[in-house]
Amino acid sequence: MQFFDTHAHIGLIYDDPIEQLRVVQEAKQANVTRIVSICNSLHDFSNVYANLKNVPGVYHAIGVSPSEVNNPGKDWMRIVEEGLSLPNVVALGETGLDYYRKFGDKSSQIELFITQLEMAQMHDKPVIIHNRDAGKDIYDILAQRMPQAGAVLHCYSEDARYAKKVLDMPVYFSFAGNLTYRNARNLHETVLMLPVDRILIESESPFMVPAQYRGQRNMPAYTPSTVKFLAEMLEMDIEALADQLWKNSCKFFRLPE
């Protein structure tokens, strides 16, 4: 049985290259044999990519998150364009909209988001989407500008009604450790109505630690705890679910099984 952590901020767990490698090794000991490393900034991407680019089972996404809208960096478009062609870079992200933290203004966030959707389309890459309190705008933009390679709504936070509406698009729904929280009823209702072949699992480490590890910094190695919880919710054998999630992840990121 093997697990695929589709979203881990390795650079936010540790800056040190040796510690980053240890995160990956500990994940593999927990049968988390594939990880997609998500950058928080382009500087973060360059460091983590340099440290882990040759590590088997580690893949990367490059993009500018809404938190960086006021300072994406000099020549950020060129850097993202070049990064999308690097080995083991499997997606553009994370990008999206965050109206909760009020990074910049809405129009600036939307412009940054749309630009990256167009870049993803040009490079035929799937998109990893961050959504916080911006569900309507995310939906409206994707309805017009969805890249052909599709998208994933990472750390899903909307309700079942929203998911049902988005199901008509080439979109996957990724759930993190907050799925295991008792009060996450909107997430519980959502996973119960979703087709299992549209679900991904992520650690979102170092954030969203599963309930089993509350009080600790989240790690990719804790991903199986979320899968176990989901298997119990869906009344599925955990090995069968892990296999399905693995296939879903490989399909979305266009990786061999």
pLDDT digits (tens, 9 = 90+) for 52-79: 999 999 999 999 999 999 989 889 999 9
Percentage of the chain exceeding pLDDT 70: 100
- How high is the pLDDT of residue 170? 97
Confidence band, pLDDT 50/70/90 cuts, at residue 104: confident
In angstroms, the Cα distances linking 94 to 85, 154, 198, 256, 257 are 16, 9, 19, 22, 23
pTM: 0.97
- How high is the pLDDT of residue 201? 98
Confidence band, pLDDT 50/70/90 cuts, at residue 139: very high
Whether residue 223 has pLDDT greater than 90: yes
Q: What is the mean pLDDT of residues 109-130?
A: 98
Q: Which of 240, 223, 238, 133 is nearest to 180 (CA)?
A: 223
What is the average pLDDT score of the chain? Answer: 96
Structural tokens at position 152: 């994933």
pLDDT, tens digit, for every residue of 194-221? 999 999 999 999 999 999 999 999 999 9
Q: What is the mean pLDDT of residues 108-117?
A: 97
